[in-house]
């Protein structure tokens, strides 16, 4: 450990660094094995996107607002559209209040599902890492003991 | 006088909840009327709290409200319509990037909390922080009256006798390494596991790791930690979960060393708790940790598990050195005695009430262009730093923002300071800056300064943590320069392309002047475009 990597007044950084120099030096093999294990444990960055499975549900979570009013009728259509817009405009505050708890529930359930999906993903990733590390260890053991590979 | 406190959630046993309760007892002992208002609370705190919704009704013109801010609260409108004077108490907000990949909800909430920090500014008369690290961010956010408040700790709470059964179990000749805190990604409990693995394999096979704090096994980070434990393969790791005060005392009483690898602390009470309980502390020097340690314990700027394991080994094997560390820690804690801190706190509050808070003159007026070059000071010869110098000369009205060098202490004066021949505003990085190949860390205060500004933002190096955090926030006023030769992160490049689109330029390493010219021309044409649009 270098003194410039330390911040301590009493004892000084130099004294602590010097003490680390007095520690028994681990063998290269032990140090290398440890470095390999630590490197295998480093977490690759995971994209912060929503799980694709939930994208559609997420788009529909806020049920307070619907698509813009339309009508396929040629003559009375504009009147109907106007009536729909007026109705919604007038009643939207009440609609919001009635559906507020539903929206909160939808958001909460989406959050919970995200946690479940991310947790599953995390377990799968850890399992894969663990398996890879075990296989690497097995290979090293077989390499060290050539008689084992002959059987 | 009525001095009340407002907190988003009053929890039982967390640092902010304990602080709020202790402050209330101090305020009441000084003769003030003091209540705690909260939007949500733990069941155990039901008797101690009033609903935040009732505060606007109950507040008077003479009342003072201490607004504790550390997470998204959605209380800004309520604060705005309340009467009386308001004082922000800033505990700092964990950078959202530390939750990414593990907890999307927490990451979004942290971002929202930083927006609330800016939204609160016009509604409060002053702001206190518990560390210069946090105070620096307040100045960067444009708060004019900022002061650093001593963190009032109720030391008596740490005098609980240890649980005898647990103590006997742990005092079995093993070297016990202790970490206390919730298992959240920002605390980097995974690095604690890595350091302990190195320590056990290289120096002390008869060692045990105690992790005292809540771990949600069902949450992605909890699952990751349990998987990591299997992967690394060390023995004698105990995830203790939530512990009682007596069990915690037993953990401290039998600990050989306290280890923290946290990447973000607004203050860091457990570090001082360990010092108070005579346990040598080894901590990674991120955020306000060096300030909290105050030169006591051992702060490491290296996060290499093998390096930090050496420090644990030294503290165990060298009694004289260990004794020196403990003596320095006792001195540090003595400087934070209850009476001394209470007196300083009272003076600071009195100063606010009488309108005598220090005014920050270093708050910059919004410049037309912000040149964000995090490595300008620490890596002055890097291509982006050379480009920043070129741009600074061509755009003299611009402001150049960069990270402070490693070991430089946070101050409330951000700039400008002449560095490498250019006036530069200095910001403390969230983690120590490593040697050249390592990516540059983010900086909450720098990012907040840019968010608070209204000028055009030029991100010099779109791969940096600072640029990645700001790209979305600055929207259409953001420009970026990417160094393809140094860029290996595909995700970062994709994010830059998505957010900046045509406003992303490539750096020509062979001809920095050409890149500077192209950027200045683009900025000028955009300005002309705006004028014509008007």
Give yes or no for B198 touching A (CB within 8 A). Answer: yes
Q: Please, which pLDDT band fits residue B413 given cuts at 50, 70 and 90? A: confident
* % of chain B at pLDDT higher than 70: 97
Contact list, A23 vs chain B (CB under 8 Å) = 203, 310, 313-314, 317
B328 lies in a domain?
A: no
Distance CA B79, CA B85 (A): 10
* Pair (B291, B346) in one structural domain: no
Range B313-339 average pLDDT: 93
* Pair (A56, A38) in one structural domain: no
B442 lies in a domain?
A: yes
Residue B237, helix vs strand vs coil: strand
Distance CA B200, CA B205 (A): 5
* Pair (B472, B407) in one structural domain: yes
Contact list, B296 vs chain A (CB under 8 Å) = 8-10
Distance CA B166, CA B241 (A): 14
* Pair (A129, A79) in one structural domain: yes
A7, A23, A48 member nearest B301 (Cβ)? A7
* Pair (B301, B402) in one structural domain: no
Residues 76-105 of A with CB under 8 A from B: none
Which of A2, A13, A16 to mutate to probe the B interface, most B CBs <10 Å?
A: A16
Q: What's the pLDDT at A134?
A: 84
Residues 168-187 of B with CB under 8 A from A: none
CB atoms within 10 A of CB B354: 8
Query: What residues make up the domain containing A21?
Result: 1-42
Instruction: Give how many domains chain B has, as a whole number.
Output: 3
* Pair (B147, B165) in one structural domain: no
| Interchain CB distance below 8 Å, A127 and B227 | yes
B194, B227, B306 member nearest A130 (Cβ)? B227
B289 lies in a domain?
A: yes
A7, A26, A126 member nearest B202 (Cβ)? A26
Cβ proximity of B6 and B23 under 8 Å:
no
B70 lies in a domain?
A: yes
* Pair (A38, A53) in one structural domain: no
Distance CA B268, CA B455 (A): 35
B288 lies in a domain?
A: yes
B218, B302, B314 member nearest A119 (Cβ)? B218
* Pair (B12, B146) in one structural domain: yes
| Interchain CB distance below 8 Å, A6 and B198 | no
* Pair (B348, B304) in one structural domain: no
* Pair (A3, A77) in one structural domain: no
* Pair (B40, B149) in one structural domain: yes
* Pair (B435, B486) in one structural domain: yes
Distance from CA of B198 to the nearest CA of A (A): 7
CB atoms within 10 A of CB B124: 20
Contact list, A127 vs chain B (CB under 8 Å) = 227
Residue B196 main-chain phi, psi, to 5 deg: -65, -40
The pLDDT of residue B29 is above 70: yes
Give yes or no for B328 touching A (CB within 8 A). Answer: yes
Instruction: Give how many domains chain A has, as a whole number.
Output: 2
Q: Which residue has the tokens 């330390």?
A: A6
B493 lies in a domain?
A: yes
Per-residue b or e along B260-278, where b marks 16 or more CB atoms closer than 10 Å to that residue's CB: bbbbbbbbbbbbbbbbbbe
Residue-averaged pLDDT of chain B = 90
Contact list, B230 vs chain A (CB under 8 Å) = 126, 130
Distance from CA of A143 to the nearest CA of B (A): 21
| Interchain CB distance below 8 Å, A47 and B202 | no
* Pair (A72, A141) in one structural domain: yes
Q: Please, which pLDDT band fits residue B363 given cuts at 50, 70 and 90? A: low
* Pair (A69, A20) in one structural domain: no
* Pair (B116, B170) in one structural domain: no
CATH assignment at residue B455? 3.40.50
Nearest CA in chain A to B100: A48
| Interchain CB distance below 8 Å, B298 and A45 | no
Give yes or no for A121 touching B (CB within 8 A). Answer: yes
Give yes or no for B164 touching A (CB within 8 A). Answer: no
Cβ proximity of B6 and B67 under 8 Å:
yes
Structure tokens that stand for B235 in this block:
């023995």
* Pair (B383, B478) in one structural domain: yes
* Pair (A97, A119) in one structural domain: yes
Contact list, A126 vs chain B (CB under 8 Å) = 223-224, 227-228, 230-231
Give yes or no for B392 touching A (CB within 8 A). Answer: no
| Interchain CB distance below 8 Å, A41 and B228 | yes
CATH assignment at residue B112? 3.40.50.2000
What DSSP letter does each residue of B53-69 carry, written as one string? GGHHHH--TT-EEEEEE
Q: What's the pLDDT at A146?
A: 66
| Interchain CB distance below 8 Å, B321 and A43 | no
pLDDT in tens, B88-138: 999 999 999 999 888 888 898 999 999 999 999 999 999 999 999 999 999
Residue B80, helix vs strand vs coil: helix
Which of B220, B280, B439 to mutate to probe the A interface, most A CBs <10 Å?
A: B220
- The region of weakest confidence among A65-74, B171-180, B404-413, B509-518 is A65-74
10 Å CB burial of residue B117 (0-12, 13-18, 19+) is buried
Closest by Cα among B270, B264, B216 to B98: B264
* Pair (B92, B220) in one structural domain: no
* Pair (A38, A11) in one structural domain: yes
| Interchain CB distance below 8 Å, A119 and B220 | yes
Q: What's the pLDDT at B217?
A: 78
Q: CB-side exposure of B294: number of CA atoms within 13 Å? A: 18
Structure tokens that stand for A6 in this block:
């330390």
10 Å CB burial of residue B530 (0-12, 13-18, 19+) is exposed
Q: What's the pLDDT at B242?
A: 87
Q: What's the pLDDT at B457?
A: 94
Nearest CA in chain B to A107: B105
Give yes or no for A12 touching B (CB within 8 A). Answer: no
* Pair (A62, A133) in one structural domain: yes
Residues 474-503 of B with CB under 8 A from A: 491
pLDDT in tens, B346-356: 998 888 888 77
Distance CA B209, CA B258 (A): 10
B54 lies in a domain?
A: yes
Query: What residues make up the domain containing B248?
Result: 160-317
| Interchain CB distance below 8 Å, A30 and B201 | yes
* Pair (A20, A68) in one structural domain: no
Distance from CA of A73 to the nearest CA of B (A): 40
Distance CA B282, CA B308 (A): 8
Q: What is the 3-state secondary structure (H, E, C) of B246-297?
A: HHHHHHHHCCCEEEECCCCCCCCHHHHHHHHCCCCEEEECCCCHHHHHCCCC
* Pair (B117, B244) in one structural domain: no
A15, A26, A125 member nearest B321 (Cβ)? A15
pLDDT in tens, A11-41: 999 999 999 999 999 999 899 989 988 988 8
- The region of weakest confidence among A118-132, B312-326, B386-400, B448-462 is A118-132
pLDDT in tens, B152-173: 888 888 999 999 999 999 999 9
Distance from CA of B4 to the nearest CA of A (A): 30
pLDDT in tens, B427-443: 999 999 988 778 899 99
| Interchain CB distance below 8 Å, B228 and A114 | no
Q: Please, which pLDDT band fits residue B8 given cuts at 50, 70 and 90? A: very high
| Interchain CB distance below 8 Å, A8 and B328 | yes
């Amino acid at each position: 450990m270098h003194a410039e990597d330390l911040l301590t007044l009493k004892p000084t950084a130099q004294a602590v660094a010097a003490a680390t120099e007095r520690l028994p030096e681990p063998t290269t093999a032990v140090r290398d094995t440890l470095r390999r294990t630590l490197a295998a444990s480093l977490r690759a960055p995971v994209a912060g996107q929503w799980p694709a499975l939930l994208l559609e549900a997420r788009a529909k979570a806020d049920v307070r607002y619907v698509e813009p009013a339309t009508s396929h009728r040629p003559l009375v259509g504009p009147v109907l559209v106007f009536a729909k817009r007026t109705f919604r405009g007038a009643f939207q505050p009440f609609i919001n209040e009635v559906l507020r708890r539903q929206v909160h529930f939808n958001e909460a359930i989406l959050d919970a599902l995200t946690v479940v999906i991310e947790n599953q993903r995390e377990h799968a990733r850890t399992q894969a890492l663990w398996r890879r590390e075990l296989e690497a260890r097995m290979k090293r053991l077989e390499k060290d003991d050539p008689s084992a590979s002959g059987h | 006088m009525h001095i009340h406190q407002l907190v988003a959630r009053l929890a039982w046993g967390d640092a902010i909840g304990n602080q709020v309760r202790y402050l209330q007892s101090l305020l009441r002992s000084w003769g003030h009327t003091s209540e705690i208002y909260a939007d949500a609370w733990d069941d155990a705190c039901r008797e101690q709290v009033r609903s935040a919704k009732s505060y606007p009704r109950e507040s008077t013109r003479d009342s003072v409200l201490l607004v504790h801010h550390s997470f998204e609260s959605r209380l800004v409108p309520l604060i705005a319509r309340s009467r009386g004077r308001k004082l922000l108490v800033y505990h700092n907000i964990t950078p959202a990037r530390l939750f990414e990949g593990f907890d999307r909800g927490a990451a979004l909430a942290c971002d929202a909390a930083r927006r609330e920090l800016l939204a609160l500014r016009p509604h409060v008369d002053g702001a206190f922080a518990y560390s210069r690290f946090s105070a620096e961010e307040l100045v960067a956010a444009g708060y004019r009256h900022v002061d650093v408040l001593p963190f009032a700790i109720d030391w008596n709470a740490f005098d609980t006798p240890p649980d005898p059964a647990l103590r006997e179990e742990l005092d079995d000749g093993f070297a016990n390494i202790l970490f206390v805190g919730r298992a959240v990604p920002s605390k980097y409990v995974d690095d604690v596991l890595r350091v302990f693995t190195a320590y056990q394999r290289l120096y002390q096979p008869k060692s045990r790791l105690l992790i005292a704090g809540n771990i949600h096994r069902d949450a992605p980070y909890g699952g990751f930690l349990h998987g990591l434990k299997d992967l690394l393969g060390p023995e004698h790791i105990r995830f203790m979960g939530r512990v009682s005060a007596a069990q915690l005392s037993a953990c401290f009483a039998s600990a050989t060393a306290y280890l923290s690898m946290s990447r973000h602390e607004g203050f860091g009470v457990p570090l001082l708790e360990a010092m108070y309980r005579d346990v040598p502390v080894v901590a990674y020097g991120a955020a306000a940790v060096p300030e909290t340690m105050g030169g006591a314990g051992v702060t490491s700027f290296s996060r290499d598990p093998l390096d930090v394991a050496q420090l644990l080994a030294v503290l165990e094997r060298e009694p004289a050195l260990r004794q020196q560390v403990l003596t320095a820690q006792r001195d540090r804690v003595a400087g934070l005695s209850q009476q001394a801190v209470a007196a300083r706190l009272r003076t600071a509050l009195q100063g606010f009430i009488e309108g005598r808070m220090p005014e920050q003159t270093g708050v910059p007026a919004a410049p037309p262009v912000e040149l964000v070059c995090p490595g300008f000071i620490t890596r002055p010869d890097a291509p982006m730093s050379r480009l920043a110098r070129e741009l600074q000369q061509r755009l003299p009205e611009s402001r150049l923002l960069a990270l402070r060098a490693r070991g430089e202490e946070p101050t409330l004066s951000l700039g400008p300071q002449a560095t490498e021949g250019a006036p530069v505003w200095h910001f403390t990085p969230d983690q120590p800056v490593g040697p050249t190949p390592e990516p540059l860390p983010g900086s909450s205060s720098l990012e907040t300064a840019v968010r608070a500004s209204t000028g055009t933002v030029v991100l010099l190096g779109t791969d940096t943590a600072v640029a990645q955090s700001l790209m979305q926030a600055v929207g259409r006023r953001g420009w970026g320069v990417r160094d393809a030769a140094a860029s290996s992160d595909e995700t970062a490049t994709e994010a830059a392309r998505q957010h900046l689109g045509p406003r992303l330029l490539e750096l020509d390493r062979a001809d920095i002047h050409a890149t500077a010219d192209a950027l200045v021309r683009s900025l000028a044409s955009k300005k002309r475009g705006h004028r014509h649009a008007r």
